[in-house]
């Protein structure tokens, strides 16, 4: 018996369908005019509000950063200027009295024969120089400069003990019975047979040299070299020795310059002494009786 139900031709279903296939097959697709780009680009009201808040926050941060970049250099420059003013008021030295035979008021309590203020601004130690002529000369100097100038000075500053007695009658005005320096003045006593040359060396290491050293005579150069060797101040006179060597080494074989034998080591010119030694050996003789 034949069936009365009409046959329906079925369309085979695709094994995998995409969202586009579903939309294309939908009968309402043309009526709803489904816009996929609209779905992708149109944010929800909540999302739009969040993005607006975020955008406002970003703009606020940008404005704040811009203000900071404008104000910071001004504040930094003001702080730098103030710091420079404070530093200048602390570190800027006053008028330097490099060599003074009449001490300023602050040094009047030192009643020695001569007072030389080598470093007025930061003089924190007094060198009491006892010469062969029994004069006592006070040198106001910087301890740090002496410390850096030579190993001999460092040893003296570390190991030096007060060797001179103090008058104990009045503790308020206790002074050294030898040089009259107050006990609390951090004085250091040195014995030196040539205070005049020692003064010139102190001026050199404190960067306050005597301009006369540029044209110093050979006798002064010899005395400087002897003191440099004693206190190991070779590095301090390096710029000067080139001037002196250029001026006097060319006369090494002339009469009156034989003392190059004494100072050749200090100025590192031993190789130039060989010819001088040969000449002296030829001209000098010993007579035996």
Closest listed residue to residue 263, CA positions, set 248, 278, 275, 284: 248
Contact between 109 and 184 under an 8 Å Cβ cutoff? The reply is no
pLDDT along the chain (289 residues), means of 10: 47 50 50 46 50 60 56 45 40 35 48 64 75 76 89 84 58 64 72 86 90 91 93 90 91 90 88 85 68
Assigned token pair, 63: 């404005």
Residue with tokens 């100038």: 149
pLDDT of residue 58: 55
Assigned token pair, 156: 């003296």
Phi-psi region of 33 (alpha: psi -120 to 50; beta: other; left: phi over 0): left
Residues found in the chain: 289
Contact between 104 and 97 under an 8 Å Cβ cutoff? The reply is yes
Residue 130 forms beta bridges with which residues?
Answer: 136, 191
Distance of alpha carbon 59 from alpha carbon 54, whole angstroms: 9
Distance of alpha carbon 216 from alpha carbon 218, whole angstroms: 7
pLDDT of residue 126: 79
Distance of alpha carbon 38 from alpha carbon 138, whole angstroms: 97
- Specify the 3-state DSSP secondary structure of 282: helix
Burial class of 157 by CB neighbour count within 10 A (0 to 12, 13 to 18, 19+): middle
- Strands (E) located in the chain: 114-117, 125-130, 136-141, 187-191
Residue with tokens 């047979």: 193
pLDDT of residue 286: 61
């Amino acid at each position: 018996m034949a069936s009365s139900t009409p046959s329906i031709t079925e369309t085979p279903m695709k094994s995998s369908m995409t969202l586009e296939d579903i939309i294309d097959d939908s009968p309402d697709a043309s009526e709803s005019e489904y816009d996929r780009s609209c779905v992708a680009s149109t944010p929800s009201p909540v999302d739009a509000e969040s993005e607006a808040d975020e955008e406002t926050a970003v703009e606020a941060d940008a404005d704040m950063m811009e203000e900071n970049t404008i104000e910071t250099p001004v504040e930094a420059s003001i702080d730098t200027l103030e710091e420079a003013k404070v530093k200048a008021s602390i570190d800027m030295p006053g008028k330097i009295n490099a060599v003074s035979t009449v001490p300023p008021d602050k040094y009047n309590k030192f009643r020695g024969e001569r007072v030389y203020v080598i470093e007025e601004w930061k003089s924190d130690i007094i060198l009491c120089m006892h010469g062969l002529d029994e004069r006592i000369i006070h040198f106001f100097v910087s301890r740090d400069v002496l410390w850096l100038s030579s190993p001999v000075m460092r040893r003296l500053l570390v190991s030096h003990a007060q060797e001179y007695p103090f008058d104990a009658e009045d503790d308020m005005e206790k002074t050294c019975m030898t040089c009259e320096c107050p006990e609390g003045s951090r004085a250091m006593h040195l014995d030196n047979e040539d205070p005049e040359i020692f003064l010139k060396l102190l001026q050199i290491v404190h960067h306050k040299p005597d301009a006369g050293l540029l044209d110093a005579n050979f006798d002064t150069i010899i005395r400087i070299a002897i003191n440099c060797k004693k206190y190991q101040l070779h590095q301090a006179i390096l710029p000067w020795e080139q001037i002196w060597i250029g001026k006097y080494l060319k006369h090494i074989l002339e009469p009156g310059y034989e003392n190059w034998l004494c100072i050749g080591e200090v100025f590192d010119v031993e190789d130039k002494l060989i010819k001088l030694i040969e000449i002296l050996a030829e001209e000098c003789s010993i007579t035996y009786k």
